[in-house]
Amino acid sequence: MEELYLSGKVKEIGVCNFTEKQLMKLMKNCRVKPMYNEIELHPLFQQKDTVEFCEKNDIQIISYSPFARIDKRLFENTNLINISERENTSIANIILKWNINKGYIPIPSTSKEHHLKEMELDKIKLINLDKDDMKIIDSLECNGRIRFNPDTYFSFKTKIKFLLISLGVL
């Protein structure tokens, strides 16, 4: 990836599912630090240590699964229902706005057309989440990982091996 970046073939490079510890190891051995870290991130699973490390090192967070796979702990949460009713929008849009206010780039997915239509940027821009709303959403943190755990799914050595292969080192 570094060679592609240094040769000008790509404008930006990033990693996926890297923890603070893994990013530190990577940054000790790379010429170009990643610009992005795509991680599972939603109100139930906020990965605060990784986010803090990325912010300190100017690595942009991309949040996948921002709706926690439509987890009931979000979509049936009384506080989120109240905020969405006050703002006249969906809970999904409230969660997207929370991501944007935090400085993350959310990448939602859906297979339902009506859900896609709900997620209009113009609507999301109009949502006003004040400090209290943000604290309410922040308080939903429960270490509630929804997707697979990359630390147990792929070992760090496997990730580095894939990286070295992609760089032509192996």
**pLDDT per residue as tens digits for the range 52-87:** 999 999 999 999 999 988 889 999 999 999 999 999
CATH number for the domain whose boundaries are 1-167: 3.20.20.100
- Cβ neighbors of 111 (< 8 A, separation 6 or more) are none
DSSP 8-state symbol, 121:
H
pLDDT, tens digit, 9 for 90 and up, residues 137-168: 999 999 877 765 666 556 666 767 766 776 66
This prediction has a pTM of: 0.82
Per the model's pLDDT, the better-predicted residue between 1 and 83 turns out to be 83
Distance CA 103, CA 21 (A): 22
In contact, 32 and 5? CB cutoff 8 Å: yes
pLDDT one-digit tens code per residue, 26-61: 999 999 999 999 999 999 999 999 999 999 999 999
The residue ranking higher by pLDDT, 117 or 67, is 67
